[in-house]
Structure 1
């Protein structure tokens, strides 16, 4: 079987080595397409492959149509909104992700950004500490649980809301479960977003929602850009000089956010999974899932059922 590793933003060298070793150990062939600059290169490379591993690469209907023998696509990471899963299903192509492999990396970044924010972006003026602050985690999946684990080390008071996670499971992790998203925003000094981009969540973090934060509140987004209603958040931040917004996903309206000097920060590129460990873990997990699929039809992590 031919397995294409198509990464416009390449895996770390150690990750590529691990992927090759895993795929080839099962008698399959690895084809690398790294740092491609035009979609035509991807269309050509995917023509006769049986499987594909991607990172944030866009897998569109055009790409899927060009794949004459493709049976499975694995996204090395948790989010898979860059893949047209519905069209893949129409073509009987399995789409999987690798949940949990980047979770610790994203969670650690949350606190790197938070410390930077509460210390006034290191401008020399006195900031505040995270200890005893109320942290609200919106969505208690793999990343949310790691955020809670690290927050305990900072001595924070931790709350969470997840419409799909029982309150009992949240409480069992030593976290206060609240009954609604609104209650989370009203209660906490800091809200950390970990919701996926779905029709229900897109633009859901809006003026009304964020305006419930108490004075001095901080909103941090290491999830997806699409969940933020950017025009409404800009309007709110222009009206409330006490609020801060920090993210590792550069907004479409970055220029407008930049006007909010001292209360907004974004990394130039999405950084959540950018560690050597996460890179390697996700890549090798994707390779193992492809081998399992070809060996015995395992589709444990399929997301387009």
Structure 2
């Protein structure tokens, strides 16, 4: 039986699947004192968010597979893994529906301005002398917007982007996407209008949502230039990667009224600094990298990473780039 080290805890369903097919060694994280001994003769390691580079891989000279519990693989030194002939498997579709739901919920909250309205109500802004509640909503400038008829722009139209699009279309939104890897005709068949580039897309959207992997060498995808192209009544949702958005530029755009609102679930670095300018920006919904954190998605990820890791071990040595499913990561 193969030996697999589980670096961080996963759903019991995944643990059960592994226990039936391998010798499983369960650790408590990268600081576990048993790490070196566990990896010394392991065939595979399964991780969640721990950074995996030489410091960990050097303990496992016989490692053949790295299983990533999640869609992205940017916490793994893929170049080093490839050089050592180690396959990387991930779970790119396990959290698709969870992130799709989160994105639509975030857009709806921003359009309906729930946080602002509740804050005003709890803070006593609505008074008995002010007349009807709807009239006070109007006078206080707290009127919301409809999703029906609004234009949603997607950056990335892979599995998650398409999940968002299905929900948006069902709500009556128009959906366009920038994705150089997608087949334009396939997008059109789903009701998504393909757009050539960000410069064309940004000035037209009421809501923009990001669904692509990050690229530290490229830098932020959305920065000062891109915020200048967005309309001041637009909103932004980023539940993909923190490095995709220039956080200082986002804080400035919100503070100066050049963007109506934003929802941010991912940060660079993580955890974020609560003293950073972003945390004092108005009309901003902040969540702690939880878009994929549903009970259903966590169970699917655990079962999928167990299955894909075992399949990769059965497939023999890696050949060529050491990644399985990584093309869909973050999509």
TM-score (norm: length of structure 1): 0.88
1:32 aligns with 2:52: no
Give the distance between the partners of 2:325 and 2:43, measured in 1 at CA.
16
In the TM superposition, what is the alpha-carbon distance from 1:196 to its structure 2 partner? 0.5
Counterpart residue number, 1:48: 41
Match of 1:292 among 311, 314, 330: 311
Say which structure, 1 or 2, has more relative contact order (CA 8 Å, 6+ apart). 2
Give the distance between the partners of 1:245 and 1:232, measured in 2 at CA.
12
1:113 aligns with 2:99: no
Counterpart residue number, 1:230: 247
In the TM superposition, what is the alpha-carbon distance from 1:209 to its structure 2 partner? 1.0
Counterpart residue number, 1:6: 7
Give the distance between the partners of 2:249 and 2:6, measured in 1 at CA.
39
Give the distance between the partners of 2:114 and 2:98, measured in 1 at CA.
21
Give the distance between the partners of 1:197 and 1:208, measured in 2 at CA.
18
1:21 aligns with 2:40: no
In the TM superposition, what is the alpha-carbon distance from 1:197 to its structure 2 partner? 0.7
1:73 aligns with 2:73: no
Counterpart residue number, 1:220: 237
Give the number of the structure whose alpha-carbon radius of gyration is greater.
Answer: 2
SS at match of 1:95: strand
1:62 aligns with 2:55: yes
Residues 43, 81 of structure 1: alpha-carbon distance in 2 compared, 3 angstrom cutoff? farther
Any residues of structure 2 matched to 1:174-189 within 5 Å, and which? Answer: 174-189=191-206
Residues 250, 200 of structure 1: alpha-carbon distance in 2 compared, 3 angstrom cutoff? closer
TM-score (norm: length of structure 2): 0.82
8 Å Cα contact 1:136-1:184 kept in structure 2? yes
* Gap regions ≥5 residues in structure 1: none
How many residues of Structure 1 are paired with residues of Structure 2 in the alignment?
294
SS at match of 1:245: strand
In the TM superposition, what is the alpha-carbon distance from 1:25 to its structure 2 partner? 3.5
SS at match of 2:262: strand
In the TM superposition, what is the alpha-carbon distance from 1:86 to its structure 2 partner? 0.8
* Gap regions ≥5 residues in structure 2: 118-141
Counterpart residue number, 2:122: none
Residues 302, 245 of structure 1: alpha-carbon distance in 2 compared, 3 angstrom cutoff? closer
Structure 1 window deviating more from structure 2 (168-177 vs 225-234): it is: 225-234
